Amino acid sequence: MTSPNPTTTPDSPEDPAPKPTRRTFATEYRNNILDEYSNAPHSEKSAVLRREGLYQSQLREWAQARTAAVGKSQPKAATNPDTDAVTRKEMARLTRENARLAKQLTQTEAALESMGKLHVLLESI
């Protein structure tokens, strides 16, 4: 004989604690909190979270959603020829600097190798 399940008996009292509901936040509230959090000094960021009863992970998700929404709502700007020229010029400068530093690194490695061989030679004398 099986015993009846106490949770399914008709004479058991209902659960006194109702099921909690999730909080929802309006977009304006989210944006205000994100702005306040980002403008707060580093030492006061956690105070904003505690005051509002939020977690940093929530703000991170809100910020990603806001960035995605802004990216979708704004049409892509036409490319500016001046900006493209500046970008190309900067890219060329960085490429030249990279080549110069690579050459300098090769020379330094060769000098270190020579110094190591000289050190071994002097110790053997």
pLDDT tens for each residue of 59-109: 999 999 988 887 776 666 556 667 788 888 999 999 999 999 999 999 999
What is the rounded distance in angstroms from the CA atom of residue 5 to the CA atom of residue 35?
52
The answer to whether residues 36 and 72 belong to one domain is yes
Number of domains the chain is built from = 2
Instruction: Please give the pLDDT value at position 10.
Output: 53
| 83 and 58 assigned to the same domain | no
pLDDT > 90: what percent of the chain? 52
The helix-helix angle for 27-39 and 45-52 (nearest 10°) equals: 150
Are 31 and 66 in contact, with CB atoms under 8 Å apart?
yes
Instruction: Tell me which residue of 78, 34, 86 sits closest to 60, measured CA to CA.
Output: 34
Confidence at residue 14, expressed as pLDDT on a 0 to 100 scale: 72
pTM of the model: 0.44
Residue linked to tokens 């006194």: 16
Q: Find the mean pLDDT for residues 27-36.
A: 92
Q: Which of 37, 61, 76 is the last residue of a domain?
A: 76
- The SS3 assignment for 23 reads coil
